Structure 1
């Protein structure tokens, strides 16, 4: 394995304790762990448990048992995002001060209806507020009431503030990608029932834990655009990225937590060894 340029290397694996780990999780965790070890670096385990409605207490320990069985060891006590909502709120307050958040009172059903009736169809629908459309006092006043709402990142305003400045993210293979601030539309950064979203928490925690290399699935490549924009406006360091192929089963479908037959606990209890897990991952990569 090629030695990385940045030192010290710090990677992480950040599962959600909402179900059992499967082969896809094992692949991602092993890549991050093995990369750190090959470069005399650190590997960190983090629990992304902001969605407390789906989290189950037993899954925290179950995840640790699965990783220990695979031979994965972490170098710090795992943090739980649910313990740091106050820290995420400070980031939200900073973005509000910069005029980069606005309250959205539409329900999921109303947004789905808008998508179905969009001129270019639901597949191309994005929530995007025009940069010139200021937030009126009535809307601000409603945020102090009991009406549920979400704080959305104002993508057009972010692009306006960036002006001619261009942002990029760089991969471990040297490829650089130019950022499109509008790619994901006005992403939700917080709700009343969930004080912070994945996008906000992940950039905050990667900076807090000094992560130098983020190794994750190809399905999160597009999300990296808004992560890079948030890093810019929150003055956070920018790590290197590596996107790996998503593993699929014999049926060509991605592994999912609901597929118990591919769960690490099930495979372990069936007598499968960690070495066999690596073989199964290698086979899946070829599909």
Structure 2
């Protein structure tokens, strides 16, 4: 009998260097690190720096300093998304070749105006689980000749997933295996609630959704451990994994840390960073206790 070696578990922490890490990041990083150790697996660090306007080397250096202070160690080399744009473009070209995406020409302002005009009559525009209005159907319905004319003109555009075509191409119901702090078990995926999600923009060669599934596959990630705020986004990721023939990881969406206002901690809201707690004299062990570990 041929003995097939078991794949070594791989976990990852994937922050964006667009601000200082806060306690919510500490929770996610420590959980990934400790779960990897318990499973006799590997802990990987990924720098998600696709947004070149907001991500900076100083914030990236801060990530390394914060995680080292927490006592975490990771495998080298660190994967930096900005070094792998061709891989994301290759995945996008695969979807273009299958006619599962389309060029979207409406600007944010045009979409906002369209939604406002529609809702002025008292009717709600459909929104995704994050509350963002779904993209209008204008570009999805354009003929090939008009699309080619607009592309040839150099008009700025994004590439969006044609959700209806993509769901049909997936060939049946989608699910993921969940072991987190909310629903558990085999969870049905419903990507359609997100509408025609963007996969690439003129100012960013890949979206979070596209790059994260490519990265997880390339790095051999077996366990995705992240916050509950990304629970519903897993539906999109399972769809893209299926369309691109990528493996399905196990998922664990953990509790979120909330601020005094009852909302999740956020870089944009200036919530106290790990480095600031360190400067105030908090030890790494005390920080673990503060976040309930």
TM-score exceeds 0.5 = yes
How far apart are residue 129 of structure 1 and its match? 4.1
How far apart are residue 56 of structure 1 and its match? 1.1
RMSD: 2.1
Matched, 1:121 2:121: no
Distance in 2 (CA, whole Å) between partners of 1:39 and 1:211 is: 13
Q: Please name the residue that 2:25 is paired with.
A: 25
Contact 1:88 1:204 in 2 (8 A): yes
Bigger mean CA deviation after superposition, 200-209 or 7-16: 7-16
How far apart are residue 45 of structure 1 and its match? 0.3
How far apart are residue 141 of structure 1 and its match? 2.7
Structure 2 unaligned regions, length at least 5: 1-5, 128-132
Matched, 1:148 2:135: no
Contact 1:212 1:239 in 2 (8 A): yes
Q: What TM-score does the superposition give when structure 1 sets the normalisation length?
A: 0.90
How far apart are residue 246 of structure 1 and its match? 1.0
Runs of 4+ in structure 1 off by over 6 angstroms are: none
Matched, 1:69 2:77: no
Structure 1 unaligned regions, length at least 5: 1-5
How far apart are residue 7 of structure 1 and its match? 4.6
How far apart are residue 122 of structure 1 and its match? 4.1
Distance in 2 (CA, whole Å) between partners of 1:135 and 1:269 is: 59
- SS in structure 2 of the partner of residue 243 of structure 1: strand
Distance in 1 (CA, whole Å) between partners of 2:139 and 2:190 is: 15
Q: Please name the residue that 1:249 is paired with.
A: 259
Q: After the TM superposition, which residues 88-167 of structure 1 pair with which residues of structure 2 at under 5 Å, given as runs?
A: 88-118=88-118, 120-122=123-125, 124=127, 125-127=133-135, 129=137, 133=141, 135-163=143-171, 165-167=172-174
Contact 1:131 1:157 in 2 (8 A): no
- SS in structure 2 of the partner of residue 77 of structure 1: strand
- Structure 1's 129 and 156: CA in aligned 2 closer, same or farther, altered over 3 A? farther
- Structure 1's 281 and 49: CA in aligned 2 closer, same or farther, altered over 3 A? same
Q: Please name the residue that 1:227 is paired with.
A: 237
- SS in structure 2 of the partner of residue 216 of structure 1: strand
- Structure 1's 104 and 259: CA in aligned 2 closer, same or farther, altered over 3 A? closer
Distance in 2 (CA, whole Å) between partners of 1:226 and 1:176 is: 16
- SS in structure 1 of the partner of residue 191 of structure 2: coil
Q: Please name the residue that 1:3 is paired with.
A: none
Distance in 2 (CA, whole Å) between partners of 1:130 and 1:244 is: 38
How far apart are residue 49 of structure 1 and its match? 0.4
- Structure 1's 79 and 37: CA in aligned 2 closer, same or farther, altered over 3 A? same
Aligned length: 277
Contact 2:163 2:195 in 1 (8 A): yes
- SS in structure 2 of the partner of residue 78 of structure 1: strand
Distance in 1 (CA, whole Å) between partners of 2:225 and 2:266 is: 19
Contact 1:213 1:240 in 2 (8 A): yes
